[in-house]
């Protein structure tokens, strides 16, 4: 949906007032001018998207992307999926959620800080992180409880 809206900004309903292409503006320049506006429009304004610039000379954008969008440089290496070894279970914890204290089949998310042992279900963390923004569907971030 994002690509289609990016390629057809005037036909997309995501931008209330899509910018017009300037006279003699190159298509890539127009696309780069449109990119931050699309990233700030719902539904993409809250998704953890990444912009990867393949060339080291990063173009200057007219408007900065939202703060939660990560910008990277370089082609990068493809991520390889880890293979599950025989007899090894996938991340289902035996202890309960740190927020609801229930044990469910849902894998728990663990705090990335090494000394923190907090683990919680994704829906429990989402409810906590979305408490200040009850009208949103996806949390952008939050502090470990």
| Mean pLDDT, all residues of the chain | 80
As a whole number of angstroms, the distance between CA 50 and CA 14 comes to 19
29 and 65 fall within a common domain: yes
Condensed to tens digits (0 to 9), the pLDDT of residues 107-120 reads 888 888 888 888 88
> DSSP state, 72?
E
Q: Cβ contacts of residue 8 below 8 Å, gap of 6+?
A: none
42 and 109 fall within a common domain: no
Condensed to tens digits (0 to 9), the pLDDT of residues 64-95 reads 888 878 888 877 665 666 655 554 444 444 57
Alpha helical stretches, state H, the chain? 2-7, 27-39, 122-129
Condensed to tens digits (0 to 9), the pLDDT of residues 41-56 reads 888 888 878 888 887 7
Structure tokens at 103: 């044990």
Could you tell me how far CA 119 lies from the centroid of its own chain? Answer: 21
Closest CA to 44 of 34, 53, 54: 34
53 and 101 fall within a common domain: no
34 and 68 fall within a common domain: yes
Asked whether the predicted pLDDT for residue 24 surpasses 90, the reply is: yes
């Amino acid at each position: 949906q994002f690509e289609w809206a990016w390629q057809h900004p005037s036909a997309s309903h995501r931008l209330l007032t899509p910018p017009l292409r300037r006279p003699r503006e190159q298509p890539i320049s127009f696309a780069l001018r449109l990119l931050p506006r699309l990233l700030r429009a719902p539904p993409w304004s809250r998704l953890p998207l990444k912009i990867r610039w393949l060339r080291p000379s990063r173009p200057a954008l007219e408007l900065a992307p939202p703060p939660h969008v990560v910008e990277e440089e370089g082609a990068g290496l493809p991520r390889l999926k880890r293979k599950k070894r025989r007899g090894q279970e996938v991340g289902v914890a035996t202890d309960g959620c740190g927020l609801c204290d229930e044990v469910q089949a849902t894998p728990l998310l663990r705090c990335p800080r090494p000394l923190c042992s907090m683990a919680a279900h994704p829906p429990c963390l989402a409810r906590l992180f979305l408490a200040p923004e009850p009208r949103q569907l996806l949390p952008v971030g939050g502090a470990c409880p």
